[in-house]
Amino acid sequence: MNASTPSYDQLTATWTRMHHLSHLQSIAGWDQAANMPPKGNEARANALAEMAALLHRMRTDPLLPDQLQRAEQEPLTAMQRANLREIRRQWQGANALPEALVQRQRLATSRCEHAWRQQRPANDWKGFVANFKPVLAGAREEAELLSQRMGVRKYDALMDRFEPGMTCDKVDRVFGPVRQWLPGLIQRVLDKQAHEPVMQPVGPFAVQAQRQLCEQVMRLLRFDFDAGRLDVSTHPFCGGVPEDVRMTTRFREDDFLGSLMGTVHETGHGRYEQNLPRQWLGQPVAEARSMALHESQSLSFEMQLGSHPGFVRQLAPMISAALGEQPAFEPDNLHRLMTRVQRGLIRVDADEVTYPAHIILRYEIERPLIEGDIEPEDIPGLWDTKMQELLGLDTRGNYKDGPMQDVHWPEALFGYFPCYSLGAMYAAQWFAAMRRAMPDLDQRIDAGDLAPVFDWLQAHIWSQASLWPTDELATRASGETLNPAHLKAHLESRYL
């Protein structure tokens, strides 16, 4: 223990212990999704709940406030100061809410989410609202408490859990312009694509061949298989720990492209985790910056790079080699397939052009919902109006493909949705910065040289972890804070 920073050292020792214990939590969580047989579920749930309770006790240890205060007076390096800032953030997150409220909300979301699994296919909006009301009540109570403690608006306080420092003002500043130009852009893209025929691939595609293709593309993207794996789960995700990243995908014999591009997406998350700075691992400063930053990595891989014509030309022969030659695998056609735009009801199926419409709609509903300006009964009407405005779609009476389509609201994940589109904007901003620094970037990607992309992300994002608040990270990386003009320029350049 360093004589001059005893309290800081005590804190880092505690966080290292939690890093070790939550390693087991992460691996068991991945196993639950990827391996676990059904009868193991109850024992696993008990085990994970025990660990969650243990980690919660560690984060709410009454010794911590004093240690935090003392540590803040100690002579710390810049890195240590950044780490201490993130330790305090995590401590605040764990100590901000009374345990009774947390428990009550856990019950409410668990009940709502469980019923939603049946209610959604049954299109049972009324039944859903009955369970959703207590969830919303709990979320409002949490928002109220956090807002008072942090001195920010209620919805800001909820967003801050996923995107530190994000506020409605900032979201409005970036979503505002998008809302203006997006509907027109969608129409122009659809008009243009109406004259571009596209050939559909003809399946079935053997799962084993798809798996090998995915692993090959992950290698092309430099995923380190000595420090991670690809497995199968119902809902693809990137889990595990930075030292051992566990990615999952799912395979459909009639559609290889969904699985392949989903894998490219998760590989972006995976490489961020695999390249977080090793020397501070176990400390909050070495963790990924935020949800939007994480999504900016997966979308840098899936959209910016993965759907780049030069990258698609590299993919095409790998696809033909894995699945057999067919006309649809010709590079230009493959690129048209991957950039096909369609107005649709379902967010997770949306392309990169229409996707922000789904997010803006949710943001414009969940924000007044949290602030108490609207009630759950108002949602379907608002949903339909906004779907008409943004995508020209009629959703009346269709709750299951409307406000009931996502798990986020049953689980009270208010403030999470904006991160998806903020991530898309950051990704466009990173690539714009790369092109300024390397004017021949596109030619190099066309020539099959992906190293400049990875080197830039490594230097500006991955290695920076949580050293800086997000705005400062963005400014250091790209010379400006979040600027939605880059997404607009990217979409216009690729789709018009």
Q: Which stretch binds a second copy (CB under 8 A): 33-41, 63-71, 95-103, 301-309?
A: 33-41
The distance of closest approach from Cβ of residue 247 to a second copy in the complex, given in angstroms and rounded to an integer, is 12
- Please state, in angstroms and rounded to a whole number, the distance separating the CA atoms of residues 55 and 48: 10
Q: C-alpha 431: how far from its chain's center?
A: 18
Q: Answer yes or no whether residue 215 interacts with a second copy by CB under 8 A.
A: no
Question: How many other C-beta atoms are found inside a 10 Å radius of the C-beta of residue 23?
Answer: 16
Is 266 known to be catalytic? yes
CA separation for the pair 444, 486 (Å, rounded): 21
- 50 lies in the binding site for a second copy (CB under 8 A): yes
**Stretch of 16-24, 131-139, 263-271, 365-373 lying at the interface with a second copy (CB under 8 A):** 16-24
- Name which of 224 and 325 has its Cβ closer to a second copy: 224
Minimum CB–partner distance for residue 49 and a second copy (Å): 8
User: Which residues, 6+ apart, have CB-to-CB distance to 443 below 8 Å?
Assistant: none
Spatial distance between the Cα atoms of 81 and 76, rounded to a whole number of angstroms? 6
- Residue 31 interacting with a second copy (CB under 8 A): yes
Q: Which stretch binds a second copy (CB under 8 A): 44-52, 319-327, 365-373, 406-414?
A: 44-52
Name all contacts of 246-254 with Cβ < 8 Å and 24+ positions apart: 246/26, 246/27, 246/30, 246/34, 247/218, 247/223, 248/30, 248/33, 248/34, 249/214, 251/207, 251/210, 251/211, 253/203, 253/204, 253/205, 253/206, 253/207, 254/203, 254/204, 254/205
Which residue lies nearer to a second copy by CB, 35 or 388? 35
* Residue 35 makes contact with a second copy by CB under 8 A: yes
Contact 142, 97 (CB under 8 A): yes
Residue 223 or 456: the one with the smaller Cβ distance to a second copy is 223
Alpha helix positions (H), 224-288: 256-274
Which two structure tokens, joined as six digits, stand for 221? 């993207």
Pairing status of strand 238-241 against strand 228-232: unpaired
342 binds a second copy per the rule CB under 8 A: no
Helix (H, G, I), strand (E, B) or coil at 330: coil
Determine, following the binding rule CB under 8 A, whether residue 33 of this chain makes contact with a second copy. no
Contacts of 133 (CB under 8 A, 6+ apart): 376
| 20 belongs to the binding site for a second copy (CB under 8 A) | yes
Residue of 70, 463, 29 whose CA lies nearest to 231: 29
The residue within the footprint of a second copy, chosen from 244, 255, 330, 471 (CB under 8 A), is 244
3-state secondary structure of 35: coil
Nearest-approach distance from CB 218 to a second copy, in angstroms: 13
Using rule CB under 8 A, residue 226 touches a second copy: yes
Nearer to a second copy, 33 or 198 (CB): 33
3-class DSSP assignment, residue 358: helix
Our finding on whether 288 is near a second copy (CB under 8 A) is no
Q: Which position among 37, 184, 327, 439 is part of the footprint of a second copy (CB under 8 A)?
A: 37
- Say whether residue 38 binds a second copy (CB under 8 A): yes
Q: How far apart are CA 192 and CA 212, in angstroms?
A: 35
The verdict on 27 binding a second copy (CB under 8 A) reads: yes
Q: Is 346 helix (H, G, I), strand (E, B) or coil?
A: coil
Compute the distance between CA of residue 291 and CA of residue 188 in angstroms, rounded to an integer.
Answer: 31
Angle at 343 between CA 338 and CA 344, to 5 degrees: 95
- For a second copy, the closer of residues 30 and 430 by Cβ is 30
Name which of 169 and 226 has its Cβ closer to a second copy. 226
Stretch that binds a second copy, among 148-156, 237-245, 284-292, 397-405 (CB under 8 A): 237-245
Query: At its nearest, how many Å lie between a second copy and the CB of residue 232?
Result: 13
| Region from 59-67, 238-246, 352-360, 440-448 binding a second copy, contact rule CB under 8 A | 238-246
State CA 164 to chain mean position distance: 14
Residues with Cβ within 8 Å of residue 164, at least 6 apart in sequence: 89, 289, 290, 469, 470
Window of 30-38, 147-155, 171-179, 247-255 that interacts with a second copy by CB under 8 A = 30-38
CA–CA dist 268, 64 (Å, integer): 35
Judged by CB under 8 A, the residue of 33, 47, 345, 438 near a second copy is 47
Binding piece for a second copy, criterion CB under 8 A, among 28-36, 143-151, 439-447, 485-493: 28-36
If one asks whether residue 206 binds a second copy (CB under 8 A), the answer comes out as no
Q: By CB under 8 A, is residue 234 in contact with a second copy?
A: no
Number of residues that bind a second copy (CB under 8 A): 35
User: Is residue 39 involved in binding a second copy (CB under 8 A)?
Assistant: yes
Nearest to 419 by CA among 298, 269, 296, 302: 296
Asked if 52 is part of the footprint of a second copy (rule: CB under 8 A), the reply reads no
The catalytically annotated residue of 266, 273, 287, 364 is: 266
DSSP alpha helix (H) spans, 160-255: 168-193, 207-220
Give the nearer residue to a second copy in terms of CB position, either 44 or 104.
44
- Interface residues toward a second copy, by CB under 8 A: 17, 20-21, 23-25, 27-28, 31, 35-40, 42-44, 46-51, 54, 224-229, 241, 243-244, 281
Supply the residues annotated as catalytic: 266
